[in-house]
Amino acid sequence: MNYNSFYKNKKVVIVGAGGQIGSILAQKVSALGCRPNLIFHDSASDIGKPDIWNRLVADADIIFHLAAHEPKNFNPELDLEINCRSMLYLLEACRAQGKSPQIVFTSSSNVVGDPKKMPVDESFKDNPLTMHAIHKLAAEEYLKLYARNFNIPSITLRLASVYGPSTDINLSLRSSINKMINNAVHGSPVKLFANKDKIRDFLYIDDVADAFIAAGAVSHPRGEVYIIGSEQRETFGKVADFIASDVARRLGNKTEIIVDKDVRLSEVDMREFVANSARFKELTGWRPNISLKYGLALTVDYFIGQQLSSK
């Protein structure tokens, strides 16, 4: 599909535009010929209240809902407000006003919990292991219900582990892989934990943003959920080894890799996950373009550049 022609002059809202993925998506959507309405999570745009949604749906063709509460501490009420209740307010605003913008929602591969076989596709049973995943699943179900009963189009993307540089250093450091790279570039140890040999699917951030753009152009979605990943499998330990080797080659830094097995990890931290994105690829033609090694090298480039610019 020619996304330039599809998105040109579309009225696009990006909720969570100040986030790691949202900021990259905003850049890419702007380059396609529309001026997105960027919603940041601050006191002026509280997505946990109905009022902002009443304003946003009044004049929108596509709404990318990327805002999320990523808990550092257990806070179920705030998690409910941001990850679940906000979706209900969005859908109710659409229903009350008779509006049908296409909603693209960001969910998580954590909704399937700790699958016993891989790769994981959309047929796997949901088994959320965290409050965050429970609320994401509830929001997905709201979308399905409102698509069936009120013809509000929507599509959900369950994402694998996202890494890669965002629009600024603070956003970039939200990814655990990015933090490892930043430490190595600065000569600090890279720390691993008891899950160092667990297999994960690491998806480069530009590929994630491209998946959202593809999802926004799907014709008449009805609440379908898709697994989005690189479909490559690698362990945290092997990723750390590559980072240490690449940084040593470029900077001469010898990176110490520390394994701290005393830190208690949650059940979800010990899970394994690899995506099977065949359904979404067939639907949209989207493909992950950045291999893990190339993506890690690009991210090392970024953090080296950040280090040099700060001197």
Domain spans in the chain, listed from the N-terminal domain onward: 3-162+204-231+273-289
Task: Kindly state the tokens that stand for 79.
Answer: 């998690």
Does the pLDDT value for residue 52 go beyond 60?
Answer: yes
CATH 3.40.50.720 fits 3-162+204-231+273-289, yes or no: yes
Predicted pLDDT at 272: 97
Mean pLDDT of 271-291: 98
0.75 exceeded by pTM: yes
Q: Quick check: 45 pLDDT over 70? A: no
The yes-or-no verdict on residue 70 having pLDDT over 80 is no
Which of 9, 101, 106 is CA-nearest to residue 55?
101
For residue 1, give both structure tokens: 């599909």
- Cα–Cα distance for residue pair 172/19, rounded to 1 Å: 9
CB under 8 Å to 309, separation ≥6 — which residues? none
Whether 56 shows a pLDDT value over 60: the answer reads yes
Q: What is the mean pLDDT of residues 251-266?
A: 93
Rounded to the nearest integer, the mean pLDDT of the chain is 94
Range 287-298 average pLDDT: 98
Residues 113, 127: contact at Cβ < 8 Å?
Answer: yes
Comparing 75-79, 218-222, 231-235, 301-305, the range with the smallest average pLDDT is: 75-79
Percent of the chain with pLDDT over 70: 97
Name the least confident of 38-42, 141-145, 207-211.
38-42
pLDDT tens for 122-139 read 999 999 999 999 999 999
Preceding omega of 119 cis (within 30 degrees of 0): yes
C-alpha–C-alpha distance, residues 23 and 64, integer Å: 12
pLDDT at 71: 66
- Please report which confidence band the pLDDT of residue 43 belongs to, taking 50, 70 and 90 as the band edges: very low
Question: pLDDT tens across 185-204, in order?
Answer: 999 999 999 999 999 999 99
Q: Cα separation of 162 and 230, whole Å?
A: 10
CA 191 to each of CA 62, 65, 171, 200, 238: distance values in angstroms, whole numbers, following the listed order: 41, 33, 20, 17, 13
DSSP state for residue 196 in the 8-state scheme? T
Amino acid at 27: Q
Q: How confident is the model at residue 248, as a pLDDT?
A: 96
- How would you classify the pairing of strands 234-235 and 199-200? antiparallel
Report which of 131, 295, 80, 85 is spatially closest to residue 202, judged by C-alpha positions. 295
Distance (Å) of CA 163 to CA 99, 175, 177, 260, 272: 35, 6, 6, 22, 17
